């Protein structure tokens, strides 16, 4: 079996002054869910790297865009360049999976609307439901119609153009998953790559800053996080059906 080359665009921004910690390996958060029978060569590029570092889409068998504190609705050069590169991947037939910020950026570049959520932050265990399009998508093969995920976002995709389909629905952020008409660009608002320990690792240095900003008990939500094993199936399916397939 040919080894597949997968690019992870790492958009995570860590607060300054943190001690080194091997658990902050963003590429590792995704690569650990690789099917054991599938040979994959993972590559990581920081989102703010020169766009040439992303190389030609034709060099990759699949691309994953990570989550980020960055705002996909912001008119900055990074968003413009990465958005154009996403379209180049689609035109080259390269499958892309966007997570959280990546999901929002895919929606924006396809003509959707991304904006801050009027109710602010969605954090922690979140129930979501597959739409009719999601139930027949290979990205969610073998998954139940309703399942629990881990969320961490304050922006949302609030509107989609024709040709882009909602695959997962929620009650806080209504559009929790999308796919384009070619089924090459996929996005999920939640974090299938993470687990309670990793989400707490991300949030521990941010707790003090965010406590006064939210309408719920931030510490209680973070300290009571529960595993969400169905999320990992999404990564398995993306690699198995879209990258390998």
Domain chopping of the chain, boundaries: 4-243
Among candidate residues 27, 100, 153, 186, the one labeled active-site is: 100
Q: What pLDDT, in 10s, does the model give residues 76-113?
A: 999 999 999 999 999 999 999 999 999 999 999 999 99
The predicted pLDDT at position 49 comes to 93
> pLDDT per residue over 132-178, tens digit each?
999 999 999 999 999 999 999 999 999 999 999 999 999 999 999 99
Query: Percent of the chain beyond pLDDT 70?
Result: 100
Query: Of residues 27, 89, 153, 193, which has the active-site annotation?
Result: 193
129 phi/psi in degrees, rounded to 5: -135, 135
CB–CB of 172/158 below 8 Å? Answer: no
pLDDT at residue 1 above 90?
no
**122 pairs with which residues across the strands?**
153
Find how far residue 144's CA is from the centre of its chain. 20
> Which residues, in sequence order, are bridge partners of residue 165?
179
Pairing of strands 122-130, 164-169: antiparallel
Is 27 catalytic? The answer is no
pTM of the model: 0.97
CATH code linked to domain 4-243? 3.40.50.880
pLDDT on residue 36: 87
Residue 193 among the catalytic residues: yes
Look up 191 and say whether it is catalytic.
yes
Q: Which of 96, 99, 92, 107 is nearest to 243 (CA)?
A: 96
Mean pLDDT score, 198-215: 96
**Residue 225 predicted with pLDDT over 80:** yes
Partners of 124 in beta bridges:
151
Alpha helices in the chain (DSSP H): 26-31, 77-91, 101-109, 132-135, 196-203, 207-210, 218-223, 229-237
Q: Are 188 and 234 in contact (CB under 8 A)?
A: yes
């Amino acid at each position: 079996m040919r080894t597949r080359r997968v690019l992870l665009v790492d958009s995570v921004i860590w607060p300054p002054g943190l001690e080194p910690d091997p658990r902050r390996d963003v590429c590792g958060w995704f690569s650990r869910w690789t099917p054991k029978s599938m040979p994959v060569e993972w590559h990581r590029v920081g989102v703010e790297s020169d766009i040439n570092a992303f190389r030609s889409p034709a060099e990759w068998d699949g691309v994953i865009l990570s989550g980020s504190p960055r705002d996909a609705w912001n008119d900055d050069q990074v968003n413009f360049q990465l958005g154009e590169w996403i379209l180049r991947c689609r035109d080259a037939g390269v499958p892309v999976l966007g997570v959280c910020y990546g999901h929002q950026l895919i929606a924006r570049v396809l003509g959707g609307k991304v904006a801050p959520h009027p109710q602010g932050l969605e954090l922690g265990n979140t129930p979501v439901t597959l739409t009719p399009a999601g139930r027949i998508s290979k990205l969610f093969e073998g998954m139940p119609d309703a399942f629990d995920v881990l969320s961490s976002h304050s922006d949302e995709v609030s509107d989609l153009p024709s040709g882009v389909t909602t695959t997962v629905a929620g009650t806080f952020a209504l559009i929790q998953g999308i796919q384009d008409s070619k089924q090459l660009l996929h996005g999920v608002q939640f974090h299938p790559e993470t687990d309670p320990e990793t989400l707490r690792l991300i949030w521990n240095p941010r707790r003090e800053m965010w406590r006064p900003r939210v309408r719920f008990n931030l510490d209680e939500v973070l300290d009571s996080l529960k595993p969400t094993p169905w999320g990992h199936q999404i990564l398995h399916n993306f690699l198995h059906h879209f990258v390998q397939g």
